Homo-oligomer: A and B are copies of this chain.
């Protein structure tokens, strides 16, 4: 269970000089106290075109993460199930279909179906779970998320979803700024571009969050479920 600090998907791409310079960030990583899961933008649009390479689905469905989205589906289901067993809230972000031309990024997008920003059924919110509607990349920007977290006495976040280089990164940086201890679940986080995914995870791991493997997080949540049952 004890992974090396750099034993992550970025190993094949980060050079030795950078790794040496980034040794200053080495520290013990952990899931924080009283966490919530923050599930970023797991909406239908990310899965459009099916379990195929992004460059194939992209022709028809700009914004789809293709095979990367589909690969993350099973571990994300396990993550949410473990969180719910442990009494850890699962909080979602998505966006309204019509936000008067305001976008998360500069991408040129065409009009899509009305359900593209519904959370994908396989990982959908349970009744009563909080869904935050946002217009920008960060789940904190222009939303009441910080107030809900404060009222729920949440001290740390377990973050997953997409895209690593867009909304996940922006949300994680804001979460760090607000003072949360953050875990990013590697297998439940994805992007359209492999290099962007890896370098952003590398950045986030060293600067703003603890990137952990899903089995480590599941083990922690299972332990928490036991503790809280006893208590």
Contact = CB atoms under 8 A, between A and B. Distances in A.
A137 B58 CA distance: 33
Interface residues of A, number: 68
A173 interface: yes
A53 B202 CA distance: 21
Given A20-B55, A146-B146, A208 B105 contact: yes
Interface in A146-197: 146-151, 153, 155, 165-166, 169-170, 173-174, 176-180, 192-196
A108 B21 CA distance: 12
A17 interface: yes
A194 to B, nearest CB: 7
Interface string A122-151: 000000101000011110011111111111
Interface in A95-139: 100, 102, 104-109, 128, 130, 135-138
B144 A142 contact: yes
Contacts of A62: 24
Given A107-B24, A193-B22, A196-B203, A177 B55 contact: no
B207 A179 contact: no
Contact of A14 (B21, B105, B166, B195): B195
A18 B194 contact: yes
Contact of A102 (B141, B148, B155): B148
